[in-house]
Amino acid sequence: MSALTRLTATETRLFFREPMLVFFALAFPPIVLVVLGSIPAMREPNASFGGMRVISLYVPIIVVMGLAMFANSLSQLFATYREKGVLRRMRTTPVRPGVMLGAQLLMSTGLSVVTMLVVLAIGRLAFDVGLPRQLPAYLVSYVLAALAVFAIGLLVAAIAPTGKSAGATASLLFLPLMVFSGLWMPRAGMNDVLRRISDFTPLGAGVQSLQDATAGHWPQPLHMAVMLGWTIVAGGLAARYFRWE
């Protein structure tokens, strides 16, 4: 077993010892979907959204929200490790700090996939929401969205001095991004200006790409380029300013 595999397993066990992080990253998105789906009007076709049921529009929004939750926890964990000197002490061991970064990313990605599958299952079994018709496109969109969101989380971890400040900063940052993803108003109900702004946010582009894949289409090049651009910019800044001690 490689050092990366062992450390990923260790970090996963440590993650499950943090009940608040576990709740908001793993349980909160499915709970939100269940609550929304329990509203009768959400399950009825809506003329304002082209005859689509609102709950169908919210499934990809909830999936992307799950990614944002994991990015928030990622930033808190890394900032806390730096604050407590964990990363500094790791420099004296054979395990390089970069392995810690890889382990955290693997853990967050793997667990976020679990959340995504649970959300899709609840949507299908409880509310008859269709599964993605274009599975390869859905997976590509999900990976691009995850990379963009996790890059932002690492950028927050790079500049936040403490775990608490990282959590607060990430929450303040992801709140407006969630607004433009359609959490309060699905993209189909936004006016042209808001939808255009949403197109250039990582969560908005991610939601639309997942919606396109669910409908059986490949994501629009604009949205894929936006997610890739956020990954490069935020990831580059995180690498530039990240402090291991």
Residue 184 confidence class, pLDDT cut points 50, 70, 90: confident
Residue 6 confidence class, pLDDT cut points 50, 70, 90: confident
Task: Give me the phi and psi of 53, to 5 degrees please.
Answer: -80, 140
pLDDT in tens, 111-141: 999 999 999 999 999 999 999 999 999 999 9
Higher per-residue confidence, 87 vs 198: 198
Tell whether the model's pLDDT for residue 17 goes beyond 90. Answer: no
pTM, to two decimals: 0.92
The listed range with the strongest mean pLDDT (100-104, 182-186, 227-231) is 227-231
DSSP string, the chain: --HHHHHHHHHHHHHTT-HHHHIIIIIHHHHHHHHHHTSGGGGSB-GGGTT-BHHHHHHHHHHHHHHHHHHHHHHHHHHHHHHTTHHHHHTTSSS-HHHHHHHHHHHHHHHHHHHHHHHHHHHHHHH-PPPPSSHHHHHHHHHHHHHHHHHHHHHHHHH-SSHHHHHHHHHHHHHHHHHHHTSSS-GGGS-HHHHHHHHTSHHHHHHHHHHHHHTT-PPPHHHHHHHHHHHHHHHHHHHHH----
pLDDT in tens, 89-108: 777 777 676 677 778 888 88
Q: Tell me, what's the pLDDT at 150?
A: 93
For the ranges 2-11, 23-32, 135-144, which has the lowest average pLDDT? 2-11
Q: Tell me, what's the pLDDT at 4?
A: 82
Q: Tell me, what's the pLDDT at 51?
A: 83
Give the integer Cα–Cα distance in Å for 135 and 31. 24
